[in-house]
Amino acid sequence: MAANATYLAPGEGETVFTVNSSPIKFGVGALGELGADALTPGMERVALFVGPHVLASAPGASALGALRAAGLDVAVYDQARCEPNSDSFEAAAAFVRDGAFDGLVSLGGGSVMDTAKAANLLSTYPDELIAYVNAPIGRAKPIPGRLKPHIACPTTCGTGSETTGITVVDLKSVGLKTGIASPLLKPSLAIVDPTTTETLPGGVVAASGFDVLTHAVESYTARPYTSRPKPAHPSQRPPYQGSTPYNDIGSLAAIRLGGEYLARAVRDASDTEARHQLMFASTLAGLAFGSAGVHIPHAMSYSVATLRHEFVASGYEEREPMVPHGIAVVINAPAAFRFTAQANPRRHLEAAAALGADVTDAAPEDAGEILALAFISLMRETGLPSGIAALGYGEADVPALAEGAFAQQRPLVMAPRSVSTKDLEGLYRDALRYW
């Protein structure tokens, strides 16, 4: 298939960008204020989305205790699937639809928060899931109106789902991982208490932490918002707009924090400074990519996460075999940034420098390799797989991987370079093994 995007020269395209961020409460002890925060939008009967392990933990007890102390009627939903699929979304929606809830709280990683978003949507405006899924895989039906209040409380330092209007799903009917994107999906409030990260296994911190870094680098290197055509009407301005002066600030800060603290946070669970700073980086990156978008590494990740289910990641041994989202993304990042760097070498070098690479006297043509090696070095230091071959993929899988990635047009059109299926095949070959 042909390349997929057209880029306008400066002065010919968009001149406006928008920022639609959710309110955020960040800090040690923030989770203890959950009950008061749930009363503010008028919640009385609350659906609490939480995984069994988190529910049995100190953060789970704190959240449930705060809600009940505020006099709220709470029903727990603990069946959210790690890396959710269409069946798990439908089951969660049925729970909310049958429960007569007037608000939702999600406490967990991206899978739990995404499940709550989907359940809120499908219970409020019932339709087939594929009706709301992004085109061209789904019909991209606009969400008709406001949803129930949803307070999102992350317990992993990675996805940034608490700040975004995006939910990701393994759509079983087509065998692809895809998503729904709308500002109306954004949680009403994000409560980010960094103490929730203190008991995470190192492997989970690594997987989620690399999601932070790829979010930030992708949004910083995304095509500029000025390269898109002006919308015919302001309401048609897309949620993913491209890099903007606003998101650049958060992206670079998140990259610096990730470069400084990710390896420390993985190595030592008692290093609370590192884990708390990584949680802050996740929030910053979520705010950044929520308006700028992500691009090739995320588009490639969906095929990697969907086509094979035989890998068991460190920290996920108690779950069925699967590729955690952060690993599925970063495993493609070195190959992708080698490809995109020629579109804007300066930005790729700035991202590499923020990660801690020495870019003194670096030539523009070296930008992609320098950024790729910075990622590879950190991947090796934190015990990640050496490439997609370590996940069970080989040369024979490349065409199917590329076909699935090319279907992800929502992120691909944000890439600084237009990309074809042939390009994607080359990137997957590059990603088979880095060392």
SS (H, E, C) 353-373: HHHCCCCCCCCHHHHHHHHHH
Share of the chain above pLDDT 70, in %: 98
Whether the pLDDT of residue 1 is over 60: the answer is no
Calculate mean pLDDT across residues 79-103: 95
168-177, 282-291, 306-315, 336-345 — which is least confidently predicted?
168-177
Whether the pLDDT of residue 359 is over 80: the answer is yes
The Cβ of residue 310 has, within 10 Å, a number of other Cβ atoms equal to: 9
* Residue, of 172 and 144, whose pLDDT is higher: 144
Task: Kindly report the backbone phi and psi dihedral angles of residue 75, in degrees, each rounded to the nearest multiple of 5, phi listed first.
Answer: -120, 130
Burial class (CB in 10 A: 0-12, 13-18, 19+), 232: exposed
Assign 6 a pLDDT band (cuts: 50, 70, 90): low
Strand partners for 224: 243
**Rounded Cα distance, 374 and 391, in Å:** 21
**pTM attached to this predicted model:** 0.92
Please give the pLDDT value at position 54.
Answer: 94
b vs e for 73-88, b when ≥16 Cβ sit within 10 Å of the residue's Cβ? ebeebbebbbbbebeb
CA max distance for the chain: 63
Calculate mean pLDDT across residues 393-403: 97
Please give the pLDDT value at position 10.
Answer: 67
**Rounded Cα distance, 134 and 142, in Å:** 10
Please give the pLDDT value at position 3.
Answer: 57
**Rounded Cα distance, 290 and 162, in Å:** 10
**Rounded Cα distance, 113 and 102, in Å:** 17
Assign 364 a pLDDT band (cuts: 50, 70, 90): very high
Residue spans of alpha helices (H) in 194-293: 202-221, 245-267, 272-292
Calculate mean pLDDT across residues 93-104: 96
Whether the pLDDT of residue 139 is over 80: the answer is yes
Whether the pLDDT of residue 17 is over 80: the answer is yes
**Rounded Cα distance, 373 and 333, in Å:** 10
Whether the pLDDT of residue 164 is over 70: the answer is yes
Choose among 132, 140, 37, 120: nearest CA to 77: 120
Burial class (CB in 10 A: 0-12, 13-18, 19+), 10: exposed
The interaxial angle of helices 367-381 and 202-221, nearest 10 deg, is: 170
Host H or E run for residue 153: strand 150-154
**Rounded Cα distance, 76 and 51, in Å:** 9
b vs e for 192-231, b when ≥16 Cβ sit within 10 Å of the residue's Cβ? bbbbbbeebbbbbbbbbbbbbbbbbbbbbbbbbbbbbeee
Assign 2 a pLDDT band (cuts: 50, 70, 90): low
Please give the pLDDT value at position 433.
Answer: 98
Calculate mean pLDDT across residues 362-374: 98
**Rounded Cα distance, 220 and 215, in Å:** 9
Please give the pLDDT value at position 171.
Answer: 87
Whether the CB-CB separation of 279 and 192 falls below 8 Å is answered with: yes
Please give the pLDDT value at position 243.
Answer: 96
Strand partners for 25: 191
The token pair at 240 is 């993913």
Whether the pLDDT of residue 395 is over 80: the answer is yes
Please give the pLDDT value at position 244.
Answer: 95
Whether the pLDDT of residue 4 is over 70: the answer is no
Whether the CB-CB separation of 299 and 402 falls below 8 Å is answered with: no
Assign 379 a pLDDT band (cuts: 50, 70, 90): very high
Please give the pLDDT value at position 72.
Answer: 98
Task: Kindly report the backbone phi and psi dihedral angles of residue 305, in degrees, each rounded to the nearest multiple of 5, phi listed first.
Answer: -80, -20
Assign 236 a pLDDT band (cuts: 50, 70, 90): confident
Whether the pLDDT of residue 34 is over 80: the answer is yes
Choose among 192, 185, 38: nearest CA to 107: 192
Calculate mean pLDDT across residues 288-312: 93
41-76 pLDDT tens trace: 999 999 999 999 999 999 999 999 999 999 999 999
Calculate mean pLDDT across residues 12-19: 91
Tell me what the pLDDT averaged over the chain comes to: 94
